Amino acid sequence: MNLKSLIPIGRDRNLAGREVHPFLSLQREIDRLFDDFSRGFPSFGRFGSPELMPSMDVTETDKGYLIHADMPGVKKDDINIDIDGNQVTITAEVKRETERKEGDKVLRSERYYGNVYRSFTLPRELDESMSEAKFSDGVLELTLVARLPVAGKKLMVK
């Protein structure tokens, strides 16, 4: 009788069908629970201030990148876009502009007001002079043109 066939340990020394650490699956479930719970809430970023991260679609084109970012409640004049090499940073501020009469009670307030911040790195360097941005109906559209790769220079040996 071969004793190795009775022991539920595989070649990589893990228990077959079980996880080595009994609390690993519990930790994964708790992490998943907190990820699901916090989805859609503002993140706490720089200096502990809450910041909203806009949802984005990034598409690579033959000339560069096309980006659509959802920024509801933001005004065109409050958006700042910084390009540094291949790093893009979008910042804005959603301002609370409500007028309440004396005696009015707020029963529920779920609208977000504060800073919008998103920074990301693209694979290719960008040409900021050729890139452009449009904002319409709460959607920011960036057309970012990538720099052409510079050909290496050959040195002649003298």
For residue 28, what is the enclosing H or E element? helix 24-38
Name the residue with tokens 């977000």.
112
CB atoms inside a 10 Å sphere around CB 78: 15
pLDDT for 81-134, tens place per residue? 999 999 999 999 887 766 677 778 877 777 767 888 899 999 999 999 999 999
Domain ranges of the chain: 24-96+112-145
Distance of CA 129 to the CA centre of its chain: 25
| Portion of the chain with pLDDT greater than 90, in percent | 36
Distances (CA, A) of 27 to 22, 23, 24, 95: 10, 6, 5, 39
Q: Could you tell me which residues come within 8 angstroms of residue 85 by beta carbon, excluding any fewer than 6 positions away?
A: 125, 126
Contacts of 90 (CB under 8 A, 6+ apart): 54, 69, 79, 80, 81, 116, 117, 118, 119, 140
Instruction: Measure the CA–CA gap between 113 and 56, rounded to whole angstroms.
Output: 19
* 141 pLDDT higher than 60: yes
CA distance 123 to 59: 12
| CATH number assigned to the domain with residue range 24-96+112-145, chosen from the 4 options 1.20.1260.10, 1.10.10.10, 3.40.30.10, 2.60.40.790 | 2.60.40.790
Q: From the CB of residue 102, how many other CB atoms can be counted at a distance below 10 Å?
A: 4
Q: Render pLDDT for 19-30 as a digit per residue (tens, 0 to 9).
A: 456 677 778 788
Q: Is the pTM of this model over 0.85?
A: no
> In this predicted structure, what is the pLDDT of residue 44?
45
